[in-house]
Amino acid sequence: MSVNAVQMAAAVNTIANGGVRISPSIIKGSATTEDGTVVGTDVATESRVVSEKAAKQTAKMMERVVDPDAGVAPRARVPGYLVAGKTGTAQRVVDGVYGDSTTVSFGGFAPADDPRFTVYVVLHAPKVDGGGGSIAGPAFSKIMGYALSRYGVPRPAGSPRAFPSSGDRAIPSARAG
């Protein structure tokens, strides 16, 4: 199976939005293509593709990915915020043949308990050994940290929990994007 970065970011964003998929767009507002198709965020469609319960459970699992004690990507954490993420490592195919290099990625959303942003980082053929968490995770942390700071997303009072609690939490009504 193969996906591009926009497709994977949309999948991560679907979990952030409680199982509702919002058609991705890199155009803010709207624009009309040469064939007359209107595209952009003003005409984005929404559809439920994952149940609310499954999205909530998946988000909790994604929070564990950055847990410093048990997670596979503690370097993707953003100090002061609860983050949910997903690592990726894939062997690269060149001219139809599996090669020796990899593509690594880290995608996630924050704050995990009230998502505002989704970020997806992809690195092709990194020159160091490691997976998505150790290679793309630190870049994700910096980009997400910058976005949260730049747009004034407040840090929660006290420290965010290090990993999901066993109690239920409400699915956020705000749309991450």
Helix (H, G, I), strand (E, B) or coil at 79: coil
**pLDDT value, residue 96:** 87
8 A C-beta contact, residue 30 and residue 44: no
Q: Cβ–Cβ contacts within 10 Å for residue 148, how many?
A: 21
Q: What are the start-end ranges of the H helices in 20-165? A: 52-64, 132-135, 137-150
**pLDDT value, residue 170:** 40
8 A C-beta contact, residue 63 and residue 82: yes
Q: What is the separation of C-alpha 93 from the centre of its chain, rounded to a whole number of angstroms?
A: 24
Question: 39 has which bridge partners?
Answer: 31
Give the angle 144-146-148 at the CA atoms, nearest 5°: 70
Q: What is the pTM of this model?
A: 0.83
Say whether domain 5-150 belongs to CATH 3.40.710.10.
yes
Domain ranges of the chain: 5-150
- Divide the 177 residues of the chain into consecutive groups of 10 and give the mean pLDDT of each group: 88 97 91 93 94 97 92 94 95 86 95 96 92 96 97 77 46 45
Q: If we measure between CA atoms, which residue out of 70, 19, 72 comes closest to residue 46?
A: 19
8 A C-beta contact, residue 81 and residue 111: yes
**pLDDT value, residue 171:** 38
8 A C-beta contact, residue 58 and residue 34: no
The rounded distance, in Å, linking the Cα atoms of 89 and 130 is: 9
**pLDDT value, residue 1:** 66
Instruction: Show the tokens assigned to 7.
Output: 């497709």
